Structure 1
Amino acid sequence: MSGTNYSAACNSLFDTPAKAENGTCMGLGCCEAELAPELGMITVSMYKQSNSMWETFPCTYAMVVERSWYNFSLQDLYGYDVLDKKFPGGVPLVLDFAIRNESCPAEGKPLPTACRSSNSLCVNTTNGQGYVCKCQEGYEGNPYLPDGCQDIDECELRDEQPALRDQYRCYGICKNTIGGYDCQCKFGTKGDAKTGTCTQLFPLPAMVATLGIIGLTSIVVVVVLFKLLFDERRKTKEFFIKNGGPVLEKVDNIKIFKKEELKPIIQSCNVIGKGGFGEVYKGLIDDKLVAIKKSINVDKLQEKQFTNEIIIQSKVIHKNIIKLIGCCLEVDVPMLVYEFVPRGSLHDILHGNRKESLPLQKRLNIAAGAAEGLAYMHSKTSTTILHGDIKPGNILLDENFDPKISDFGISRLIAIDKTHTKCVIGDMCYMDPIYLQSGLLTKQSDVYSFGVVLLELLTRQKASSGEDTRLVTTFLDAYTEDHKGAIDLFDREILLEGDTEVFNNLAILVVDCLKFEVERRPEMTDVEERLQTMKRSYVPKSISDASSSIDT
């Protein structure tokens, strides 16, 4: 056996098979020679020195093999095919593998390209120049492949292979980490769990007392939580009963919502309206836009009448009246869920930041629609319903400027007391003076309030500016002296359209609605009919024609 500038040889002496011994390779029938390290190439050859037994035993073998693997057997001397049958897979050979053309870089420098796994490291060879790649401690696998070195779960290996427990020592709680493992002392002890030096942190009596306190505290916390939950459920049930839940459950067309259903919508980011009454939120329920009205508080009188208000609104189904979808009764102050009306209130359109152009055609449409809704409440339901708080803020407009009457806060009082009320509620600027003096709310009270709203719609002036009745008084005084002077108070935007007949009819209608004598005011059905007639007959004129008409 030889390599560059190196050779190794051994002699095998053989007289008869009886001289050789199984298991020994000491020169009788078998010999071995040790190879030196750093051999790049090995050549094996055999030479015959004697012919004494060659004809009888012509078998010769030579192989490079791991030292401890081969055990000599006398049977190996008989026939060339003995070892082939005995070891069909060949013999094991251990090579001292290394990458010889370079060495590991200095510390801190990038690994050589052969070490492709991010969890590998470079090791210089001990036999000659070169390096090999190995997985870092705590990893195993093939360092020459990307992601070839994977984390070892030392804790799992300890459990599966008890023989490894000395290698991965832990006398406490073992937790695997990337590239290693942690070993912590058990609860109540401290020290080094890897060396088994954990000691009691507290004396046994103290430990017992601590555990007792913890247990007692846990019981108290659980009891308190159960009590809070019980109290919450009890309070929710009380609110439900107080707000008329048992009665409203039987009302058709009204859905009773649980507070958890509305909770995602009742957030500050969803507020679309806020005032002294409370807040209005916009949100989606069953993929439909809704507006949720959450009042700040409700006085005792309103609290008692809330059920009646819901019942009233459940009976009112009309295109010009806001639709009440449902309510939530499980809170102190009930929440109402309405259909969402996108353009906001008439007050916002006339005076607010959302102020928009309103030609006469749109104003007639708003007035006629609102009158139709009120006429329906007064005359076309099984029970007469009075609104009691007609004002621009309670008339909402949809995307087509069609009006919808909202807020039935006063109407609920009338359903209980059909004659008088000691508590006059409503906006003083739109309130019938007779109702204000007597406490008697009638159909004509709604007619008067509508007259003020109609006047505000035509003039685009606030009824509440200056003195409470300034707009009404100014208009009525002007009408008494000269009809044209009263019409001159109308908004210039519609005056430019110049329809004298319509303006005269509108002025007369406003005066009729605002008459002090209650019996001389028209019915709401008559008001609606007159407005619908004006709406149908009105034909918008060009601005140039309107300007010349005003000048003349």
Structure 2
Amino acid sequence: MKPGCSRLLFICLSAIWALATADVPAGQRPGCPAKCGDVAIPFPFGIGKHCALHNGFNLNCTSINGTMKPFKWNIEVTKISIPSSKVWMTTRMSWQCYFPATRTTNYSDSWLSFTNSPFSISEVDNKIIVIGCNAVAYMRSSTYVIGCYSTCTNVTLENGKCSGAGCCQADVPKGIQYYRGYFNENYNTTQIWQANPCNYMALMDKAAFSFNTSYVKSKVFYETYKGGVPLVANWVIRPWTCKAAKKNMSTYACLSSHSACVDSTTNDPGYHCKCSNGYKGNPYITAGCQDIDECREKSNPCGPGICKNTQGKYSCSCHPGNYMANGVCVPIPKSPHFPAVPVIGASVGLVIIVIVIAFACFIQERRKLQNMKQNYFRQHGGLILFEEMKSKQGLTFKIFSEEELQQATNKFSEQQVLGHGGHGTVYKGLFNRNVEVAVKRCMTINEQHKKEFGKEMLILSQINHKNIVKLLGCCLEVEVPMLVYEFVPNGTLFHLIHGNHGRRIPLATRLGIAHESADALSYLHSSTSTPILHGDVKSSNILLDGDYKAKVSDFGASILAPTDESQFVTLVQGTCGYLDPEYMQTCQLTDKSDVYSFGVVLLELLTGKKPFSLDASDQEKSLSMMFMSAVKENKLQEILDDGIKQDNMEVLEEIAELAKQCLEMCGTNRPSMKEVAEKLDRLRKVMQHPWVQLQQDPEENESLLGQRSAMVNSTVVSAEYFSIEKEAVTSLGSGR
């Protein structure tokens, strides 16, 4: 062999040996990059072919201005955490700026779609932030719309405070995979552009944000974050639960020994892996979870004693001349003649001292907890509520302790969850072994609502209507009050219509549920001591009892009817597909907002379709828009549910006409809930005894059954309605 060839062979063998003996960095597959720039890329994420668990975790490493950065789609990834199953990304903000040169207000909306991916937006780590002096902006997801109003008029702006003065914020609903951030164009900087030319909206990591008064001036906020804001996303292995994933070990992701599987807490199935207690590392790779050497941690867990590390644990022993007493090393008396009694006495004395100190600490912590609970009780108006309850005879409303509710719900166990909503989680509870209740654990409460909470509870406690879920009591000694309702066993109207149960729902049943729900809302609007606006009317908030009688529930978004204009400046929120366009334009929640939402519920009952569907075509994403178009084109029968197409067409057309009136763009043109309930009641009676009604009141029945031509000819649909709905639907359909 020639010397040159020998040298080349030696170099090649040396290189192969070096690669074979090199350590494989924990957290990535052999041959795959461990980092992109300064960002570590642990498995299940990966850069390159076959480097990620699957395509959902695949990243690209791209050079930006000479610096390598990881990207998921076109979104920069700045940090990945295996223990917390979170990833930090940089996303765009929305802005609304007035340009004096062209005398126009320009807009840039932001959007993000994690649909069909392992990611969802963390409701714990993020906030919806709106910056501006005359700004209303919204986050629209596939199921929810939330926004808030920010002003600089007659308020004092303060650094670090974001509660409506120059800055407002709102909570992010749970399990969101898509959002679009946009502005209400009725609120802008046209008149104040010299001092405040721009408004901004961002869905961002709340830990990375602190309001500065300079943000409302010029483009300070935009320049501070360079147009991109940090966002925290959760990630899970989809679409299996732990139980399902373990059935196929070839795809099961928790590869390391000393690892555990944890189910996703969102509504969508999925799981993530974690190292067992006493271990750390990457549970997604073989031998990725390594023992933690507690003895080498910064502070010796054994104090002055000897620490010995074991797998997943550690043990303590004493140095020679000492012995272990109640977990503490104490010296052995040196004198052999030292009496045994004093030693025993000293040990007993030491034990007593430790017990006394521990008991004192326990008493102090218990006192702190009691003081904290008392403060929360006072903040939520508990004292006022308690006094009012004493003055009212026969009131069955009860103020529960936190301990009682924990006991009733098995410490708010996941097994007790009845459902998740935009305002919180509902648990099934059991009192005295036989009284079933529903306990609503709310997520947050705004300051204005907190001040009025006791007053509102007093009014809500007096609601007594057969078609409204009874509020039995509340718990005020926690940071966010909890509500206790009667338990309604037969699920929701949403599940009845869309639950794929395969059963035909008769028109009479649908009409009965509609009438009972309308009657309940009418009662809230006009028959209570103080009018109550529900604020989130939808089919999933209409429960059904054993006889399929309707019970309106979930007053998480409800408010007492505002008595002055200042109460309209509030958090704008509602469920996508049900939200009143006029409320979105004006930020004024009225009784006619509930009427609009109820109109959408009527459409669900008529068509069997969901109010909003991202997967449908642009014209069919919004049920209300599709309905208006069908009425205009005289194609109502084409969109009716197959289960009722053969029923009384005249009654169906009357219900459709009523729904159309409820969906009027202008609230003043909509009927009241009382009028809606009365109309549905008349239709219900016609369904039950048509011949009796025709004999008793021919004029009324001519009105009930003779308006078909009026409805067919009523083809003028508000252009504003179509422009707003189509713009929203088109934007939602333009996601990744």
Alignment partner for residue 432 of structure 1, among 554, 576, 580?
580
Contact 1:309 1:408 in 2 (8 A): no
The 3 A distance-change label for structure 1 pair 414 and 337 is same
Report the more deviating stretch, 245-254 or 357-366. 245-254
Q: Secondary structure at the match of 1:516?
A: coil
The 3 A distance-change label for structure 1 pair 423 and 295 is closer
Q: Secondary structure at the match of 2:425?
A: strand
The 3 A distance-change label for structure 1 pair 242 and 357 is farther
The alpha-carbon deviation at position 398 of structure 1 amounts to: 0.9
Quote the Cα distance in structure 2 between the aligned partners of 1:520 and 1:527: 13
Contact 2:522 2:674 in 1 (8 A): yes
What residue is the counterpart of 2:409 in the other structure?
A: 266
Q: Deviations over 1:300-355 (max 9, x none)?
A: 34433432431231232111111101111222222211111111211121223667
What residue is the counterpart of 1:370 in the other structure?
A: 517
What residue is the counterpart of 2:631 in the other structure?
A: 479
The alpha-carbon deviation at position 264 of structure 1 amounts to: 1.9
Task: Return the letter of the residue paired with 1:536.
Answer: K
Contact 2:423 2:557 in 1 (8 A): no
Q: Secondary structure at the match of 1:440?
A: coil
Q: Secondary structure at the match of 2:516?
A: helix
1:406 aligns with 2:553: yes
Task: Return the letter of the residue paired with 2:682.
Answer: T
Q: Per residue, is there more strand in 1 or in 2?
A: 2
Q: Secondary structure at the match of 1:447?
A: helix
The alpha-carbon deviation at position 276 of structure 1 amounts to: 5.0
What residue is the counterpart of 1:310 in the other structure?
A: 457
Task: List alignment gaps of at least 5 residues for structure 1.
Answer: 1-187, 189-198, 542-552
Q: Deviations over 1:496-529 (max 9, x none)?
A: 33x1111111111111111112222112111111
The aligned length equals 341
Quote the Cα distance in structure 1 between the aligned partners of 2:445 and 2:339: 59
Alignment partner for residue 285 of structure 1, among 426, 431, 439?
431
Quote the Cα distance in structure 1 between the aligned partners of 2:517 and 2:631: 24
Task: Return the letter of the residue paired with 1:490.
Answer: L
The alpha-carbon deviation at position 434 of structure 1 amounts to: 0.7
Alignment of structure 1 residues 384-463 onto 2, 5 Å: 384-412=531-559, 414-415=561-562, 420-463=568-611
1:470 aligns with 2:622: yes
Q: Deviations over 1:213-266 (max 9, x none)?
A: 323212211211111221222122122212221112123432112233323212
The alpha-carbon deviation at position 413 of structure 1 amounts to: 5.7
Contact 2:380 2:452 in 1 (8 A): no
What residue is the counterpart of 2:483 in the other structure?
A: 336
Contact 1:345 1:395 in 2 (8 A): yes
Q: Tell me the TM-score normalised to structure 2 length.
A: 0.43
Q: Deviations over 1:54-110 (max 9, x none)?
A: xxxxxxxxxxxxxxxxxxxxxxxxxxxxxxxxxxxxxxxxxxxxxxxxxxxxxxxxx
Contact 2:409 2:430 in 1 (8 A): no
Larger RCO (alpha carbons 8 Å, 6+ apart):
2
Q: Secondary structure at the match of 1:493?
A: coil
The 3 A distance-change label for structure 1 pair 275 and 379 is closer
1:507 aligns with 2:656: yes
Quote the Cα distance in structure 2 between the aligned partners of 1:436 and 1:276: 17
Contact 1:388 1:441 in 2 (8 A): yes
Q: Secondary structure at the match of 1:463?
A: coil
Quote the Cα distance in structure 2 between the aligned partners of 1:276 and 1:353: 23
Contact 2:530 2:560 in 1 (8 A): no
What residue is the counterpart of 1:345 in the other structure?
A: 492
Task: Return the letter of the residue paired with 1:271.
Answer: V
The 3 A distance-change label for structure 1 pair 448 and 243 is same
Task: Return the letter of the residue paired with 1:476.
Answer: M
Quote the Cα distance in structure 1 between the aligned partners of 2:502 and 2:517: 19
Q: Secondary structure at the match of 1:494?
A: coil
Task: Return the letter of the residue paired with 2:442.
Answer: S
Task: Return the letter of the residue paired with 1:473.
Answer: M
Task: Return the letter of the residue paired with 1:437.
Answer: Q
The 3 A distance-change label for structure 1 pair 512 and 276 is closer
The alpha-carbon deviation at position 410 of structure 1 amounts to: 2.8
Identity percentage of aligned residues: 40
Task: Return the letter of the residue paired with 1:258.
Answer: S
1:492 aligns with 2:635: no
Quote the Cα distance in structure 2 between the aligned partners of 1:469 and 1:283: 37
Task: Return the letter of the residue paired with 1:263.
Answer: Q
Report the more deviating stretch, 289-298 or 428-437. 289-298
Quote the Cα distance in structure 2 between the aligned partners of 1:382 and 1:215: 61
Contact 2:561 2:590 in 1 (8 A): no
Alignment partner for residue 244 of structure 1, among 381, 401, 405?
381
Quote the Cα distance in structure 1 between the aligned partners of 2:517 and 2:385: 28
Alignment of structure 1 residues 156-167 onto 2, 5 Å: none
Alignment of structure 1 residues 61-100 onto 2, 5 Å: none
Q: Deviations over 1:372-399 (max 9, x none)?
A: 1111122223332221211111111111
Task: Return the letter of the residue paired with 1:441.
Answer: L
